[in-house]
Chain A
Amino acid sequence: MTEQAVYVYAVARPFDAGALEPLRGVDGTPVGLVGRGDLVAVASHVPLHRFDEAALKANLEDLRWLEGVARAHHAVVDAVARHTAALPLRLATVYHSDERVDTMLEQQRAAFGAALDRITGRLEWGVKVYADVDSSPASGTTAAAAADDPADDPADASAVSPGRAYLRRRQTQRQARDRSWEQAAEVGRQVDAALAPLAEDVRRHRAQDPKLSGQPGENVLNAAYLVRKEDSDAFVAHVHELLGDRPGVRVELTGPWAPYSFAPAGEPADAQHTTEPDVLESDPAGQGRP
């Protein structure tokens, strides 16, 4: 018989598990609730060999696997969040048994309770701002030519070697790009400053690489906002208002999301490193949110 593991999607207050009936989780597995107390884990039983360390290391490099698990994970989290306040867990949080999940819930009871109170009645909205950045060599070259043309600066002409002139030209180009980028970044800060007052909390994600997102322009803001449900209409309307009169700037709204970006950092990294020899160490410095 295949050894089983427990894949946990989210933690919530107890709710009617019948609501999960049609759901399928990772690898097409049924989704159920684990937990005996005032907290439940939304989980699936999965074959351990599909999610043990070796499998994860190999599979995470496999885009098809990663996307499949990410979308399955998200589908479960999203469905649960429609029913009740739910704390999403990091992708691929796997335990050896229901008992281990119970233990985890017990250990985290206070933190989960506080976190659930904090996100109940709130929605996460994603806002991304893209700004055109003038990175064309032409502008920098023009400026550099003006600055470095020896005819403009005869006293310097004999003293500047070709190598140094090149470096100076490059520096001028870089400065022009920096200025353009700074202006774009300022647009992101303005949008953020306009939206933050409507939110209870803000989390600024790392800017998305244009190669990943496929979006033109620099991603100068990639933020998540925790907004009360009753304020969400106003928030969305405000995002729309920010679209006007800003040439070269695009704003994208996503959501509402389950509160992925506002889940607590979780336990101290060593809290579960008990006597089990197969508990794998992870980088404690990487456990917290930035």
Chain B
Amino acid sequence: MTRATLVDRQDADGHYADRHDELQAESLRSDDDFPLANREVSLVDLLDRLLAGGVVLTGDVTLAIADVDLVRISLRALIVSVRADIPSPFQSRDPFQ
């Protein structure tokens, strides 16, 4: 999954650099029009789609949507510790350093 982040490209004057070509290269670099999924996707974006999107089937073991909402809420504090600026939350290191 390609993640073309424009946010971090503001220069010192507060202007966005001209990244049009780079953006396109990143976003549409593809085999069969669908890029390789090597790039890290933010967990928050992923959960937006995996918990609020996708086909909802009852299944035989049901993930009740009420539970999902609870998860989203209860995980807030935890997810702060896995923001993109902290490479791996699971190594034994102090997340507050």
Assembly CA distance A5 to B63 (angstroms): 15
* Residue contact B63 to A91, C-beta cutoff 8 Å: yes
* Residue contact B78 to A63, C-beta cutoff 8 Å: yes
* Residue contact A250 to B71, C-beta cutoff 8 Å: no
Which chain A positions have C-beta within 8 A of B33?
Answer: 123, 229, 232
Which chain B positions have C-beta within 8 A of A286?
Answer: 64-66
A interface residue numbers (CB < 8 A to B): 5, 8, 11, 51-53, 56-57, 60-61, 63-64, 66-67, 70-71, 73-75, 78-79, 81-83, 87-96, 100, 104, 108, 112, 115, 123, 126, 130, 203, 205-206, 208-209, 211-215, 222, 224, 229, 232-233, 236-237, 240, 243-244, 247, 250-257, 260-267, 269, 271-273, 276, 278-283, 286-289
CB contact between A206 and one of B46, B52, B78 (< 8 Å): that residue: B52
CB contact between B1 and one of A56, A74, A93 (< 8 Å): that residue: A74
Interface presence of B97 (CB below 8 A)? no
Q: Which residue of B lies closest to A263 (CB)?
A: B55
Known: A240-B23, A243-B16. A254 touches B55 (CB 8 A): no
* Residue contact A212 to B55, C-beta cutoff 8 Å: no
* Residue contact A71 to B55, C-beta cutoff 8 Å: no
Q: Which residue of B lies closest to A264 (CB)?
A: B55
* Residue contact A87 to B43, C-beta cutoff 8 Å: no
Known: A87-B55, A214-B83, A236-B24. A126 touches B76 (CB 8 A): no
Which chain A positions have C-beta within 8 A of B3?
Answer: 254
Which chain B positions have C-beta within 8 A of A93?
Answer: 55, 57, 59, 63
Q: Which residue of B lies closest to A276 (CB)?
A: B60
* Residue contact A283 to B47, C-beta cutoff 8 Å: no
Which chain B positions have C-beta within 8 A of A91?
Answer: 50-51, 54, 63
Q: How far is the CB of B33 from chain A (nearest CB, A)?
A: 5
* Chain A to chain B contacts (Cβ below 8 Å), 25 pairs: A60-B67, A60-B68, A71-B41, A87-B55, A89-B57, A93-B57, A93-B63, A94-B60, A95-B59, A95-B60, A104-B57, A206-B52, A214-B83, A244-B16, A253-B27, A261-B53, A266-B58, A267-B58, A279-B60, A279-B62, A281-B62, A282-B63, A283-B66, A287-B56, A288-B56
Assembly CA distance A250 to B14 (angstroms): 11
B interface residue numbers (CB < 8 A to A): 1-7, 10, 14, 16, 19-20, 23-24, 27-28, 31-37, 41-68, 71, 74-80, 82-85, 89-90
Assembly CA distance A130 to B35 (angstroms): 26
Q: Which 10 A-B pairs have the closest CB atoms?
A: A286-B65, A260-B49, A214-B83, A260-B53, A90-B54, A78-B37, A82-B34, A91-B50, A94-B61, A266-B56
Which chain A positions have C-beta within 8 A of B62?
Answer: 53, 279-282
CB contact between A51 and one of B45, B61, B74 (< 8 Å): that residue: B61
Q: How far is the CB of B3 from chain A (nearest CB, A)?
A: 5
Assembly CA distance A279 to B62 (angstroms): 8
Known: A123-B34, A130-B7. A255 touches B2 (CB 8 A): yes
Which chain A positions have C-beta within 8 A of B90?
Answer: 64
* Residue contact B55 to A214, C-beta cutoff 8 Å: no
* Residue contact B84 to A240, C-beta cutoff 8 Å: no
15 A-B pairs besides A53-B62, A255-B2, A280-B61 with CB distance below 8 A are A70-B43, A74-B50, A88-B49, A88-B50, A89-B57, A95-B61, A211-B77, A214-B83, A214-B84, A233-B28, A243-B16, A254-B3, A255-B1, A279-B58, A281-B62
Assembly CA distance A263 to B36 (angstroms): 21
Assembly CA distance A281 to B57 (angstroms): 12
